[in-house]
Chain A
Amino acid sequence: EAQVTQNPRYLITVTGKKLTVTCSQNMNHEYMSWYRQDPGLGLRQIYYSMNVEVTDKGDVPEGYKVSRKEKRNFPLILESPSPNQTSLYFCASSSGDRRNSPLHFGNGTRLTVT
């Protein structure tokens, strides 16, 4: 089954404790992206990757890192989480041009930073 898999689904952590949210897709998609969803703000892009070893900032990259060493994986790293990073995070992937190819989303990771 074609899917984007994120782990974990739920994560509670404390300020400053490094964490990684994993994302893997099995559709051989070149493009992958991370979004955060906050009430009243919709989804905002954090980082994206056009292909292996190619990553770039989205609209809200501060406090986050990513890497793309393999085509299928695109982990999101919070080196020193802060409470304002409490949010619902989504990983997504697509092939080709986003004008025509839909984004496939994972089921989300709900992060709480205390």
Chain B
Amino acid sequence: GNSVTQMEGPVTLSEEAFLTINCTYTATGYPSLFWYVQYPGEGLQLLLKATKADDKGSNKGFEATYRKETTSFHLEKGSVQVSDSAVYFCALSDGGANSKLTFGKGITLSVRP
């Protein structure tokens, strides 16, 4: 079955530091890949997505590139802000009948001033 593996957390960074959060996946076919973000006390919201190999998703300074050869979708940001503190989830959808999202375990990012 499908699965998503995220690096272990939590991650604590200083403001303006570079961020990388690793995500690898196992899926049949050609899934779409997503990053969702969960701010404290809120539901998840879509951060970015990529629907085919070599696509780059980007939003709010975050980027992730769909790498089919390494089955990865790592999230990066060049300069994090305190307001980026949240839980980040990598997810995939394979377009089956349910087309459900399969989520990774999530990683907590804390950015200190």
Contacts and interface: CB of A to CB of B under 8 A. Distances in A.
Interface of A: 4, 31, 33, 40-45, 48, 50, 56, 58, 90, 92, 97-100, 102-103, 105-108
A58 B100 contact: yes
Given A41-B105, A56-B98, A99 B93 contact: yes
A48 B98 contact: yes
Which of A48, A103, A106: most chain B CB closer than 10 A?
A103
Contacts of B43: 4, 90, 92, 105-108
Contacts of B45: 105
A102 to B, nearest CB: 4
B41 interface: yes
B8 to A, nearest CB: 10
Contacts of B106: 42-43
B97 to A, nearest CB: 8
Q: Which one of B99, B103, B105 has the greatest number of beta carbons of chain A within 10 Å?
A: B99
A41 B4 CA distance: 11
5 contacts: A42-B105, A42-B106, A100-B32, A102-B34, A105-B43
Given A50-B98, A102-B46, 5 more contacts: A40-B105, A43-B44, A106-B43, A107-B41, A108-B43
Nearest to B98: A48
B34 A45 contact: no
B7 to A, nearest CB: 13
A99 B51 contact: yes
B49 A42 contact: no
Given A40-B105, A42-B89, A42-B106, A98 B100 contact: yes
